Amino acid sequence: MFNMEVIKRNSRRVYTLMDRMYRYTFDEIERATKLECTDLCMALIELQKEGRIACHKDDSGVYYTRCA
């Protein structure tokens, strides 16, 4: 079972970080937040579910952006 309070706290941390640049790769977010892979995945899923970030893919790979 996942702790929703921890997921929410991590998602706020990720969202705050994402104010610095336009787009981020998973690795960039992972390095900046120092979250474990599972914790980061859960935070990203929560942010996508809330409509606060979007996931995109292009020739350079997958990246995440904040929604306006």
What is the full per-residue pLDDT of the chain (68 aa) written as tens digits?
789 999 999 999 999 999 988 899 999 999 999 999 999 999 999 999 999 999 999 998 999 999 97
User: Residue 43 to residues 6, 58, 59: CA-CA distances in angstroms?
Assistant: 9, 22, 25
pTM confidence score: 0.90
What residue type is assigned to position 23 of the chain? R
